[in-house]
Amino acid sequence: MTHPASGWRGFNLIDLFSTSVRWKEFWSLDDRGEVPEEDFEMIRDLGFTFVRLPVSYLFLGKGPYGRTPDPDRMHLVDRVIALGQKYGVHVSLNIHRAPGYCCLSPSQFDFAERDNLFTDDEPLAAYITWWRTFAERYRDVPKADLSFDLLNEPINVDEVAFNRTFLPAIEAIHAVNPDRYIMVEGSFRAHGSFDAGGAVDIVEMVPPTAAAVALPNVISSMHLYHPLGLTRYNCAWAAPSDLEPPTWPYRPRLASGSAPRVLTGDEAKLWDKETLRELIAPYLELVKAGHPVHVGEMGAWPGFAHDVYLDYCRDVVDLLAENGIGYALWAFRGPFGVIDNGFADAEYETYHGLSLDRQLADILKNEGASR
């Protein structure tokens, strides 16, 4: 029997993902954290069925360091879930910034947490309280309408720390509603310096631990931004690339006039559909074993040719669709999305008064994704 997650295709709605105003330099985020209802209408009408809602606990918290859930702020999430039900769009609630952890902490556009979720007791207790609060508040929302996504992009987290953090969170949620689908993201294992711009030598895709995968109603989640030299090419929050503009298939090469250096790791590879298949092979093994897998984020910064991006997306979508894996772009509007996504050479369609990348939207629906 096909798992529902295989058909969850859509977008992240990012108005609640960070309280840092710096991200508004790239995305038009609502000051109040309210996701526009029009987004749900457009997503439904374009043929998509899924949104991921990444949230910072600071949007919803009160008290010292904002770590106590504030019932008076939960209306922001209530509203998104209600809109999802109104428009027939599944909502996956994700903690993007947790007490003690945020993948964007190294970025100049965000800020660090004061302690460590994976080693310290206080942030872990607060984190579990957040998930228990969400589970209790939404206990009666059908699992067809709502899933939970435990944490955005845990980086370099070993098995012991992974289980210490996520197994109690799963237990707390399922103690309230054992039927709730829970997305558990695997860890990025970075070799080299990992920052928000993706300046690394090699990034491995490591699935959730066997202990997590074995639990009922758990969905393994991954984020697919490889190759980073393409998806982050001249990204605004990363250093300017010294590589030639990407093509697809993609073999990174130094641009003319760049300082000489040896390309190693992921930059030394030829990237094509088969390279991507090798990259996500550990997740494909889970699929073969009957375990559901979903891609919670993917997409690219509009720093290179649009037709190259479309060719790349065709291969990504083909690979995921042929393995029954659903997916979501990082954004709906703005960079990494399909509305006003910023490619200088794209042919846009006017849609609700906005600029729709119709070619990309059709590929994401898996219409014409195969050559």
> What is the residue-wise DSSP string for 117-161?
TTT-HHHHHHHHHHHHHHHHHTTTS-TTTEEEE--S--BS--HHH
d(CA 76, CA 81): 9
Phi-psi region of 224 (alpha: psi -120 to 50; beta: other; left: phi over 0): beta
Model confidence at 196: pLDDT above 90: no
DSSP state of 6: G
| pLDDT at residue 190, rounded to an integer | 80
Q: 201 or 196: which carries more pLDDT confidence? A: 201
Residues 95-149 pLDDT 10s: 999 999 999 887 777 888 999 999 999 999 999 999 999 999 999 999 999 999 9
Is residue 251 in some structural domain?
no
Task: Give the mean model confidence (pLDDT) for residues 56-63.
Answer: 94
- Give this prediction's pTM: 0.95
Q: Which helix (H) or strand (E) covers residue 97, if one does?
A: strand 90-98
Model confidence at 41: pLDDT above 50: yes
Is residue 242 in some structural domain?
no
24 pLDDT band, cuts 50/70/90, is confident
Model confidence at 369: pLDDT above 50: no
Is residue 255 in some structural domain?
no
The position carrying tokens 């197994």 is 167
Whether residue 248 contacts residue 308, with contact meaning beta carbons closer than 8 Å, is answered with: yes
Is residue 279 in some structural domain?
yes
Q: Which helix (H) or strand (E) covers residue 298, if one does?
A: strand 293-298
Whether residue 231 contacts residue 254, with contact meaning beta carbons closer than 8 Å, is answered with: no
Q: Number of H helices and number of E strands within the chain?
A: 11, 15
d(CA 62, CA 154): 25
d(CA 118, CA 169): 13
d(CA 327, CA 364): 9
Q: Which range of residues forms the domain containing residue 309? A: 4-230+272-364
| pLDDT at residue 192, rounded to an integer | 62
Q: How far is CA 293 from CA 254, 333, 360, in A?
A: 35, 25, 23
Is residue 342 in some structural domain?
yes
d(CA 137, CA 131): 10
| pLDDT at residue 371, rounded to an integer | 33
209 pLDDT band, cuts 50/70/90, is very high
Model confidence at 366: pLDDT above 50: yes
Kindly report the CATH number assigned to the domain that includes residue 78. 3.20.20.80
Summary mean pLDDT of the chain: 94
Helices within 8-118 (DSSP H only) = 37-45, 57-60, 75-87
Whether omega before 249 lies within 30 degrees of 0, making that bond cis, reads yes
| pLDDT at residue 197, rounded to an integer | 41
The position carrying tokens 């219409």 is 367
Is residue 219 in some structural domain?
yes
d(CA 153, CA 139): 25
Pairing type for strands 101-102 and 90-98 reads antiparallel
| pLDDT at residue 25, rounded to an integer | 85
Pairing type for strands 146-149 and 50-56 reads unpaired
Residue 350 burial by Cβ neighbours in a 10 Å radius (0-12, 13-18, 19+): exposed
Is residue 164 in some structural domain?
yes
Q: How many domains does the chain have?
A: 1
Is residue 252 in some structural domain?
no
